[in-house]
Structure 1
Amino acid sequence: MSFRRTSADLLAPLRPALSRGARMRPGFLVVGTKRGGSTSAYHWISQHPKVAPCLTRKGTHYFDVNHGRGFAWYASGFEKPRPEWTITGEASPYYMFHPLAPERIARELPEARLIVVLRDPVTRAWSHYQYELARGDESLPFDVALAREAERLDGEEERMRRDQGYESFAHRHHSYLHRGHYAEQLEHLYDLFPTGQVLVLQSEAMFADPNGQLARVWDFLDLPQVRLDGLQPMKAGSYEAMPEGTAHLLADYFAPHNDKLYTMPGIDFRWEEAS
């Protein structure tokens, strides 16, 4: 018999931590994207000596699937202030894509600085599929999963908006194409936050030159510049290459979405120019 720990199991340590006394209020959130490097970005940011770590190591999923637990529960996931810390934060790659999370963040943490890590949507979709396949959350061949995505996601966002306690498995786990509609997701963020509160990093550039991209993060978070040693990718997957024909089809599919993205504030890269 296999056993998978649920999000409730993983967050159980927070229950006795419901705080007496003030805790640090998150000043930054890594909001996406799934399989784009958000875990690595958060892990590296948390190594800055001025950054207080989240008590759940990465994040609480409060603004997406745990919002019903309430803000007091969320606050319990962060450290009490210490002189050496100036900021704390967390990460969830679902925050940017979840239809309700950006409004919740804007309402409850309006001054938070948002960090977005975007990966070429073609390779992101394949990585996302392989991740779900390995976890047992996907059983369809990739081409079939892509063909059925619209059917799987049909009506799910509307139901999530109507019933804010509803968790859509398909929306979270089977959105291989829609997660790559980055321009739409950034537009949503820019409707709610000033563009100066959002930093977009290119995943490929971040992994090629971690400290170079982290230097931008330190400036963005008003932190002193530091250079970190031994930075390694987190949750790196190992799987076979995507079939070439499928890759070409996806490149054509994402081309208009990417073209729109390239015109938006904060975007200073193009994937076809990545080395």
Structure 2
Amino acid sequence: MKPRLKRSVHAVSRTTGRVTAGSRVLPSFLIAGAQRSGTTSLYRALAQHPLILKPVFHKGVHYFDVAYDRGLPWYRAHFPRQATASRLARRYGCRPQAFESSPYYLFHPLACPRIAWDLPGVKVIALVRDPVERAFSAHAHELARGFETETSFARAVEMEEERLAGTVEELRASPYSISHAHRHHAYLARGRYAEQLAPLEQLIGRDRLLVLDSGRFFTEPEIVYDRVLEFLGLPHIGDPVFERHNARPRPSAMPESLRRELTDHFAELDALLTPWLGAEPTWRR
């Protein structure tokens, strides 16, 4: 389908979705991030489960970060109808669960409070990856998408503090605004996972937050997948195909001196992840 026609079809479908919002399900769980940490791979594995309902249009709705002004009926329009969920419940004897995956939710300063307010009882899954590799991957990703103009990763890291200065305060002061720098240039900041997980845990409770080590997911996907189903209270039905998605070729290797510097930079914050993961992060072993 051509892009323009596809956008038109989606616009009509969302209009219909808003009209029928009252008959649509809201998500029972979210994959909230982190960016470049395997969220798409986990999303596609979970979407193969017959009792897990994905969004109608695309993986990430991004309602709670950059589209909150559109309102909850707009958000509901992205999910299947209750009749679909009821039909699956009768077939499998278990309540289906809808979900979406928007990796900016974990980092956006207003997304998690909005989630806790609008989706009481929702469960949240967060994936964490070696923050040095995550940052390097994110830079290649933003460069390829045209959101980054600085081709040197080292220089982009040097520029980050200045680029992000005041962005959180601006987003809080103007809740419906969008910050290009905060969304696309936070290479190191997005890797400070403990600073993002702590307030989320306070908002929704420890029992509704599952933190996964992406390194383990990539090497032992079956074990991590079963852990997710247990967290969601869903039976294991069928065996999904596990694939890695959205991998980006790197324009060049990271200088070893910079890698050592950044690894030391994250040492204390990485250590704080152990209580959430139940083990030392794989990249620190």
Given the two structures, how large is their TM-score scaled by the length of structure 1? 0.92
Q: State the distance in 2 between where 1:236 and 1:220 align.
A: 27
Indicate how the Cα distance of structure 1 residues 26 and 266 shifts in structure 2: closer, same or farther if over 3 A, else same: same
Once the two structures are TM-superposed, the CA of residue 266 in structure 1 deviates from its matched residue by 4.1
In the TM superposition, 1:1-275 aligns within 5 A as 12=11, 13-20=13-20, 21-81=22-82, 82=84, 83-84=87-88, 86-140=96-150, 141-239=152-250, 240-262=252-274, 264-273=275-284
Q: State the distance in 2 between where 1:94 and 1:180 align.
A: 12
The answer to whether the 8 A contact 1:11-1:60 is kept is no
Q: State the distance in 2 between where 1:11 and 1:70 align.
A: 17
The answer to whether the 8 A contact 2:45-2:241 is kept is no
Per mean C-alpha deviation after superposition, the further-off stretch among 45-54 and 68-77 is: 45-54
Q: State the distance in 1 between where 2:121 and 2:272 align.
A: 27
Once the two structures are TM-superposed, the CA of residue 271 in structure 1 deviates from its matched residue by 2.9
- Give the SS at the match of 2:44: helix
Indicate how the Cα distance of structure 1 residues 51 and 229 shifts in structure 2: closer, same or farther if over 3 A, else same: closer
The answer to whether the 8 A contact 1:211-1:227 is kept is no
**Residues 90-133 of structure 1: CA distance to partner in whole angstroms, max 9, x if unpaired?**
01000010000000000000211100011110100000001011
The answer to whether the 8 A contact 1:200-1:267 is kept is no
Runs of 4+ residues over 4 Å off in structure 1: 8-11
Per mean C-alpha deviation after superposition, the further-off stretch among 212-221 and 51-60 is: 51-60
- Give structure 2 stretches of 5+ with no counterpart: 90-95
Given the two structures, how large is their TM-score scaled by the length of structure 2? 0.89
Q: Normalized per residue, which structure has more helix?
A: 2
Q: State the distance in 2 between where 1:105 and 1:78 align.
A: 16
The answer to whether the 8 A contact 1:29-1:89 is kept is yes
The answer to whether the 8 A contact 2:216-2:282 is kept is no
Indicate how the Cα distance of structure 1 residues 266 and 110 shifts in structure 2: closer, same or farther if over 3 A, else same: farther
The answer to whether the 8 A contact 2:34-2:126 is kept is yes
| 2:203 alignment partner AA | L
Q: State the distance in 2 between where 1:110 and 1:237 align.
A: 36
Once the two structures are TM-superposed, the CA of residue 89 in structure 1 deviates from its matched residue by 0.7
Q: State the distance in 2 between where 1:72 and 1:222 align.
A: 27
Q: State the distance in 2 between where 1:55 and 1:19 align.
A: 15
Q: State the distance in 1 between where 2:31 and 2:186 align.
A: 19
| 1:244 alignment partner AA | E
CA RMSD across the alignment: 1.9
Once the two structures are TM-superposed, the CA of residue 267 in structure 1 deviates from its matched residue by 3.9
Q: State the distance in 2 between where 1:107 and 1:222 align.
A: 23
